[in-house]
Amino acid sequence: MLDRLQRGLLSWFGSMLMFGGVLRIISSFRSDWGFLSQREFYGIIDVCLFFGIIGFYSKVRPRWISLGFLGFSFAVFSTALLVSRLWIRYETDPYFISAGILLIGFILMTGAAWKRKQISKLPFLLFTISLALGIVGSLGFAVPFFYLLSGVSFGLGAFFAGYFSQYHIY
């Protein structure tokens, strides 16, 4: 039963990570489409990432007590918090904290999968670069261009993490 579920639904979930990555790259350049607000567009991205994380986890299956599982826990928790912004109005926007925790979760997950030779090193590097660029972009004197680069790096990392986990290319 689990094998059938893995080949079908969970494999589709892993493809959602690729789709979420592509949408994140697009959102770096334009996120308000007129018929779809920025909040709704990011909500779609967050839903794709949420299901994509589950698909990625089902493919790489880290041990329960490992950095990969800790990364999965961080990523699922932070993505669920990001998705909740669609219907809960927070007094303080949890986006930056959740996005940082999400990136740390992806770094831990992809780093663990890379060390176990399940995926390429590329997603791990892209997520690490995205975190560094996001930190630099959040500094007061920094150019907003760093946010754009951070978003593109994150999107590429998500796309390749989904791709490598689905097709086992390292």
Please report the pLDDT score of residue 124 as a whole number.
96
Rounded mean pLDDT, 29-43: 81
Contact (CB, 8 A) for 21 and 156? yes
CA dihedral for 36, 95, 147, 48, sign (positive or negative): negative
| pLDDT surpasses 90 at 21 | yes
Predicted structure pTM score: 0.87
Residue 45 pLDDT class (50, 70, 90 cuts) = very high
Which tens digits make up the pLDDT trace of 49-58? 999 998 888 8
| pLDDT surpasses 80 at 75 | yes
Helix, strand or coil, per DSSP, at residue 1? coil
Cα–Cα distance list, 119 to 43, 60, 142 (Å): 27, 8, 33
Q: Which residue has the higher pLDDT, 137 or 47?
A: 47
Above pLDDT 90, what percent of the chain?
40
Residue 13 is encoded by which pair of tokens? 């979930």
Q: Strand (E) positions, 26-103?
A: none
Residue 143 is encoded by which pair of tokens? 């150019």
Which tens digits make up the pLDDT trace of 104-147? 999 999 999 898 888 899 999 999 999 999 888 888 776 778 88
